[in-house]
Amino acid sequence: MARGWESKAVEGQVQEFESKENREHKRQLTQAQVEVRRQREILILSRARVERQLQSIQDPRYREQLNSALADLDAQLSKLKETD
């Protein structure tokens, strides 16, 4: 019984240490870097949504619009990678 408690305490200490490291790493990022990461995540989510829509759409005009949107999202992502 005591051994299980000790391992839980050690596990808690390890998690606390890791969370402190994560916080310190996040503090080292500049505001601009945080904003670029946020933008990249938004673009990736948008791209995934457009791809899902493309899989189920039948209308050729709408498919063309979605392909155009996909190309635009890819261009925006590549610009973010260049500035990163």
- Domain with 8, as residue range(s), is 2-83
- pLDDT surpasses 80 at 82: no
Q: What's the structural domain count of the chain?
A: 1
What pLDDT sits at residue 62?
Answer: 96
What pLDDT sits at residue 81?
Answer: 80
Q: Which two tokens stand for residue 50?
A: 């457009």
Kindly report, residue by residue over 53-78, the tens digit of the pLDDT.
Answer: 999 999 999 999 999 999 999 999 99
Query: For 1-84, where are the alpha helices, taking DSSP H only?
Result: 2-28, 31-56, 60-83
Let me know: does 30 contact 83? Beta carbons within 8 Å.
Answer: no
Q: How many CB atoms within 10 Å of residue 15? A: 10
Kindly report, residue by residue over 27-48, the tens digit of the pLDDT.
Answer: 677 888 889 999 999 999 999 9
Question: Does the pTM exceed 0.85?
Answer: no
